[in-house]
Homo-oligomer: A and B are copies of this chain.
Amino acid sequence: MQRIINDPDNVVDDAVKGYRRASPDLYAATEHPRVLKFSGETVDKVGVVTGGGSGHEPAFLGYIGEGLCDAVAIGEVFSSPTADAFLEAFRAANRGQGVACLYGNYAGDNMNVKLARQMAEMEGIDVQTVVARDDVASAPADQRDKRRGVAGEIIMWKVGGAAAARGESLDEVIRLAQKAVDACSSIGVGLSSCTIPANGKPNFSIDPGMMELGIGHHGEPGIEVAPLTDADAMASAMCGPILADRTFENGSEVAVLLSGLGATPVMELNLLYSHVADRLDAEGIKVHRTYIGNYFTSLDMMGASLTVVKLDDELKALLDAPCRSLAMTQ
């Protein structure tokens, strides 16, 4: 395993230490070693929290900052944070106006957020949740509740974070974060596996010359293993299920988030984007804003995930609002 680590079992704690030392202008410690909070000025507003497994950097810690998340709980690589960690994140983010917990639909996260929320309520902290279910490949449109949350979570944090920053109530932050992630359709394509440091070997396999459409952020099986195509055909394969997932009118406006999965050169993401743009153009869809880069990864997996966000004026204003964090500054 060619990796930059110490003891493979301590990777997460060692990395958290590094985040804190590298960016004291962003990160402050909390009572829990796997929870960091924003170190900037404390403003009286709704708290925004997320959390999830490690290995998706810059998610989740990279989205702590101004106009984004106030506290983040992380777990082992590809594992949910504990309920205690979520609880500490709620405490760290709470300023008396309640906490919006915006996270992805995975069994462990659902269970631990639920427990943490009960504990927080006993402490008088009002926690409301939005669960991201944007991965179109993980379940059909009529079973949206089974869909996994993937890179659409970033749009949910951005919109929820901007709403909280401008002083909206908890109910309103929740409404807007829910609206944001409901507007997201995402799909991934994997070209290689990835290696969890504590295991030391790839956690699944994709044969050379093949690609897996609809792959999950932890290597969950996709909808099709097919011969590796060129980028043009790959863009079609990714856009197909996304365009079929909701109605786009001629003139619909969208944001496009095209994230590398870890090992894909940014040059190739931009190359792929040009073909995604062709598909959207052909439908008369207007691209309002793009995010192209490594926003939500899966360790050293080769591949990309595409998220298309259908916008209205309300979402556009929140997406365009300024923010500052390790992963996203605008």
Contacts and interface: CB of A to CB of B under 8 A. Distances in A.
A130 to B, nearest CB: 25
Interface in A298-330: 299-300, 302-304, 326, 329-330
B191 A17 contact: no
Of the four ranges (under 10, 10 to 19, 20 to 34, 35 or more), the interface on chain A belongs to 35 or more
Contacts of A203: none
A263 B266 contact: no
A259 interface: no
Contact of A21 (B14, B54, B274, B300): B274
Q: Which of A12, A62, A264, A266 has the most CB of B within 10 A?
A: A266
A69 to B, nearest CB: 17
Given A2-B191, A4-B191, A208-B2, A297 B18 contact: no
Nearest to A230: B6
A contact face: mostly helix, strand, loop, or mixed: mixed
Interface string A51-75: 0001101100010000000000000
B22 A265 contact: no
Q: Which of A4, A208, A266, A268 has the most CB of B within 10 A?
A: A4
Interface in A7-37: 7, 11-12, 14-15, 17-19, 21-23
A143 B262 CA distance: 37
Contacts of A208: 2
A226 interface: no
Q: Which of A232, A264, A265, A300 has the most CB of B within 10 A?
A: A265
B21 A267 contact: no
B271 A14 contact: yes
A137 to B, nearest CB: 18
Interface string A223-246: 000001011101000000000000
Contacts of A330: 329
Contacts of A55: 265, 267
